[in-house]
Amino acid sequence: MTNIIVTTMSEENNGLINFFTDQWVNSLKKLPDIYVKVVNIDTCEGLDNELDIIIENKNCILLCYNCCGIPFTYDNNQNVWESHDIPVYTFLLDHPRNYYAILENPINNLHVICLDENHVEFIQRFYPKVNETIFLPDSGVKVCNKIKSFSDRTIDVLYCGNCQTEYKTLLPVRSLPDDGIEMYRNAIKFIHSNPSLTAEEAVEMYLDAAGIKADDSMLYSLFIKDKVSRQIEDIVRREYKLLIMHALDDAGIKVDIYGGGWEDDSNPFSDNIRIHERVSPLECHNLIGNAKIDLSIMPWFKKGSSEKPFGGMLNGAVCVSDSSTYLKENYVDGTDIILFELDNIEKAVKDIQWLLSNPDEAEIIALNGYYHALDQDGTDARIREIVELLMGRRKYNS
C-alpha cells in the first residue's frame, strides 16, 4: 500500500485547484494499493494523527498543484517533507517563473511536472537546483454523464475564461536602454511574426539583435525579477484573443464568453459576442456539455497543452484550438479536433462556419475527440501515468 498525500486550499483561495484536485482524488481512489490522504492547508483539515503516522512510516508521496503545501515546516523551521525524505511532486498549471520562491532554492526531494516542454527547459536553465523536471500535459475533466448530440446543443460557440488585462504602462527595466521600451516593442514584433515563439525567446532575439550580451544571470533578472516575459506574454495573449473574437464577430458567428476583461473600447463587439460573468470550473464544464463548439485559446503553451482542449472533447463538444506540438503530434486536425495557427485565424473562422453548417460531420469529429481524449488525456488516464511515474515503473524525466 502506498499513501499519496494530496493538498488542497480553501475554496475562496483557489476553487480551480480544488476542482482539479477533486478529480485527482476520485481517479486515485480507483487504483489498487493506493490510499489517498487529503489535507487542506488553509483550514488544517487533515492535519491529524493519521497524517503524522503516514509521514513517520515514510511510505508516502506528496502530490500537489502549484506547490500547494510544499512550504510546510515544523516549529524549528525544518520542512516537513524534506525532514522525512518524502518525495514531493508538484504539477504546475502555469509558467514556472511564477514559482521562484519555491523553485529557486527548492527542498531536496522536489520533482516538478510541467505542462509544456518549454517550461521544462526554463526550469533546467534558471532553477538548476530542482531535483527533477518532467513533462506531462494537463488532463481534461468529464462532468457530463450523458453526452448530447451536436444538433441538440443550444450554444454555437463557447469560450470560458478571462481576457488578459490591458497594460496602460509597462514596468521599466533600468538595466536596458530607454528602460526597456525598445525591448518590449521588438519582442512583441518578433512574436507577431512568429507566434510559436515564447516570450523568453523573443526577448533573447532582441538582445542578440541589439548586441547586448546577456548571461543567464541577467536573463533571470529580466524574466523573473523584472517580469518582462510575463508582461509580453499577457500583451500578446490579449491581442490574439481579441483578434480571434473580432474575426468571429465579423463573420456573424455567435459566441458566448464566460469571463472578464473582454471589453474592447477601441473596437466594441456586436451582439454576436455575448459576454457573461465568469463561472466556476464545474459550471464551465456543464456549459461545454451544451456547446456545439468549445473554443480553446490556450495559455502561451507551444510544446504542451492546458486542460482546455481535452475538457471540451470529454464533454462532447468539437474542440477548436490554437495548436501546439503536443496537439499536432497526438491529434488529427479535422478528424478528432480542429486546429489553427495564431497567424491564420481565418482558418478557425472558416472551420467553425463549416462545422455549424455540417452537423453530421461535426458529430463524427466530436465523437472521435471524445473517445481519443478519454483514452489518452482524461483525468483517469493522466493519473495512471502519474502513478506509474511515482512508482518508478515509467520514466518521464526530460
Report, as an integer, the average pLDDT of 16-31. Answer: 94
Q: Is the dihedral of CA 359, 307, 342, 261 positive or negative?
A: positive
Give the pLDDT of residue 394.
42
Q: Predicted confidence band at 48 (pLDDT cuts at 50, 70, 90)?
A: confident
List pLDDT tens digits, range 254-310.
Answer: 999 999 999 999 999 999 999 999 999 999 999 999 999 999 999 999 999 999 999
Give the pLDDT of residue 395.
41
Report, as an integer, the average pLDDT of 69-88. Answer: 90
In angstroms, rounded to a whole number, what is the distance separating the alpha carbons of residues 364 and 359?
A: 9
Q: Is the pLDDT of residue 217 over 60?
A: yes
Lowest-pLDDT range, 37-46, 97-106, 209-218?
A: 37-46
Q: Is the pLDDT of residue 351 over 80?
A: yes
How many alpha carbons lie under 13 Å from residue 359 in its C-beta half-sphere?
10
Q: Is the pLDDT of residue 323 over 50?
A: yes
Give the pLDDT of residue 14.
76
Contacts of 197 (CB under 8 A, 6+ apart): 190, 191, 205, 302
In angstroms, rounded to a whole number, what is the distance separating the alpha carbons of residues 213 and 218?
A: 9
Instruction: Tell me how far apart the 2 most distant CA atoms of the chain are, in Å.
Output: 66
List pLDDT tens digits, range 122-153.
Answer: 999 999 999 999 999 999 999 999 999 999 99
Q: Predicted confidence band at 76 (pLDDT cuts at 50, 70, 90)?
A: confident
How confident is the prediction for the chain on average, in pLDDT?
94
List pLDDT tens digits, range 53-71.
Answer: 988 887 899 999 999 999 9
Q: Is the pLDDT of residue 12 over 80?
A: no
Give the pLDDT of residue 398.
36
Q: Is the pLDDT of residue 23 over 90?
A: yes
Give the pLDDT of residue 396.
36
Q: Is the pLDDT of residue 116 over 70?
A: yes
CA distances from 141 to 26, 138, 271, 314 (A): 11, 10, 31, 7
Write the DSSP symbol of residue 167: P
Give the pLDDT of residue 13.
57
Classify each residue of 153-176 as buried b or exposed e, where b means 16 or more C-beta atoms within 10 Å of its C-beta.
bebbbbbbbebbeeeeebeebeeb
- Catalogue all structural domains in the chain, each as residue range(s) with its CATH number: 2-138+381-390 (3.40.50), 150-166+236-377 (3.40.50.2000), 177-226 (no CATH)
CA distances from 95 to 119, 230, 299, 321, 396 (A): 6, 9, 9, 20, 19
List pLDDT tens digits, range 222-253.
Answer: 999 999 999 999 999 999 999 999 999 999 99
Which tops the pLDDT comparison, 173 or 391? 173
List pLDDT tens digits, range 168-215.
Answer: 899 999 999 899 999 999 999 999 999 999 999 999 999 999 999 999
